[in-house]
Amino acid sequence: MGSVFGTAGRDGWRRLHPAGLIVAMVQSVKTTVSSIISLALLFRIIPEQWRDWAMWATAAAAVLIAAGRPIATWATTRYRLDEDSLTLVSGLIFRNRRTVGYDKVHAINSASPVYLQPFHVVQLTVSTEGMDESSITLDAVPAALQLELETVRARFLADGRSRGESTADGADAADAAAVAGIGSAIPATVEASGLSGVSSSERPATDGTSRGQDQGALNSGGAPVFRASATDIVLFAITDLGFLAAAFVVYGFISQLRDVLPKRWLENADQSVDRILARGLASIVMMVALCLIVLLIVSVVSSLLRSHRFEVWRRGDDLVVVRGLLTRRVTTVPVSRIQTIVIRQSVLRRPFRLCSVGLGLSSSTSGEDNGEGSLAVANILPVIGTPHVVGVLRAMLPEWDLHQPDIHRTGRGLARYYLGMPVAVGIMATGGAGAVFALLRRMSVIDISYWWLAVPLIACACWSTSRWFASRIEGFALPDGDRPEGTTRETGSIDDAGADAGAPGVPACLEDCRACVSVLPHRIAATGVRGVSCFTVFTRRSRVQSFRRSTTAWRAPLGIERVVMPLFVMNGLSELRFRFIRRADADRLACWAEQ
């Protein structure tokens, strides 16, 4: 281990930047604060003559631990860029050695907080397949290391392709060929020609200037394939349903403060709220509107801080996302590692014909940055007009060759199955609650209002609405190309003319699934509903982990089944699910997926 922990530069080993001590100090203080508080509570049982001595000893131990641990960690940490892998060694007593092969890298994420920017260093996270435990995080390294790592990795993959080796685990031969052929041939700037009507934020920029150190590291010239303007970010914030979830977080935080704040402050606040409620409906509406405005302002400010100067660059076989105001973040995603492309449209964005686009990876890209890396990948296009999203994606990811899918709606005509469970639960919940309320009132146990019966009714109404939308939206499409006999191009549905007489609606090739596989494409587009948002997901057959189909005793004679196809995706939509689907469509999906 002498060569490992020796001088910087010996045998290619490098030391972290001294600014990493700042990061380690902050993390160490966070871990020792709880221990200090616990020790402080023990002072009450210590005799008074020993209390001062114990306090000073505790303070000295806290300083020693908070300062000694970061110094020991920094002094014993080394990393090295080998020809085929990145290696990290650390530890004073327990020495750990971690190696990540370049062909296993799924994303490279760097964060440059304000306190590291004067030193021109970043926190670098190299994510591999799986959870964060399989990733490597370098707390403080030169900003140019990310570009150097990407260059070494690209050279290794190019050498592997020249030798005919497989460098993309889980990708089929067609996908690897597409990445090798198209991805390496396109320039750093992808021109999105023919996108008439696209706003300036959706059209690739034409200026070749580099703005800031991060842009200079990306390209000395060229332009991003997507740039979000301030208007786009504001639209993303005010149409994002996340601000409603923030309201519950704020409410929980205020509830916890009630045990800490002075009692007189709480009484004054309660009296103020009671006075507003006593003034009538108009005052209540104004108070609710004021709260929503405050939440929207907070959402807009936080979105501007996270997504300031949001840009997506194409560099060889990689997508590079750059964003952030106070903390600049650069996330590099190899195109060959993209598992899914998901287009989402929430209920607030639907009237404005807006949507967002995210990428699914088989790894978590958050590292030590509180999920910010995953957030960048989950919103590769934060907000964009629905008429232009496919064109921009074709310019950004030509390997996927995306087209507007002709979706075959598998839930059409099956709404009764979708609504059966919500309606039944709603009737039982409302009836049961009404019986309990009546019994309690009759026994004079509690005088409860029947208005509370609206709670299960509203909950089941929301559930039923979501299920009804799912029955209208769920479906799939196999892209244009060779199709099995008996399918139509417009909808992808099965035509009766090509069906077997003994099994209506089923193509004859399903009798021998092996023969059917040769004409079925290897990609799929699927639509569905999650809560109040609908989505369209594009993926490949090689990304499907398994195929599960199930039914019940009373639905089996009717040919109605449920189909689930899990996807190995760690940061987004992880399965293709069809709640209710006809057996003919399930057979076709099984024929496509199980080969």
Q: Which of 226-235, 285-294, 442-451, 508-517 is predicted with the least confidence, judged by mean pLDDT?
A: 508-517
Q: How many residues does the chain have?
A: 595
pLDDT for the residue 210: 33
Question: What is the reported pLDDT for 256?
Answer: 65
116 pLDDT more than 90? no
Contact 524, 481 (CB under 8 A): no
pTM of the model: 0.73
Which two structure tokens, joined as six digits, stand for 570? 């760690």
pLDDT digits (tens, 9 = 90+) for 36-92: 666 655 555 556 656 666 667 766 776 776 677 778 888 888 999 988 889 999 887
Q: What percentage of the chain carries pLDDT values higher than 70?
A: 67
Q: Cα–Cα–Cα angle for 65, 66, 67, nearest 5°?
A: 90
Between CA 140 and CA 162 the distance in angstroms is 34
Let me know: does 399 contact 186? Beta carbons within 8 Å.
no
User: Does position 302 have pLDDT exceeding 60, yes or no?
Assistant: yes
Model confidence pLDDT, tens digit, residues 122-179: 889 888 876 556 688 898 899 889 888 988 888 888 887 666 654 444 444 444 444 4
pLDDT tens digits, 243-301 = 666 666 666 666 666 666 677 777 777 777 777 777 777 777 887 788 888 888 888 88
**Model confidence at 327: pLDDT above 70:** yes
Burial (0-12, 13-18, 19+ Cβ within 10 Å), 298: middle
Where is mean pLDDT largest: 121-130, 271-280, 383-392, 581-590? 581-590
Bridge partners of 409, per DSSP, are 475
Reply yes or no on whether the pLDDT at 528 is more than 70: yes
Which residue, 317, 367, 307, 445, is CA-closest to 108?
367
Other Cβ atoms closer than 10 A to 343: 22
Integer angstrom CA distances of residue 243 from 284, 302, 517, 528, 534: 20, 10, 46, 23, 18
pLDDT recorded at residue 409: 93
Q: In 10 A of CB 4, how many CB atoms?
A: 16
Average pLDDT of span 512-535: 69
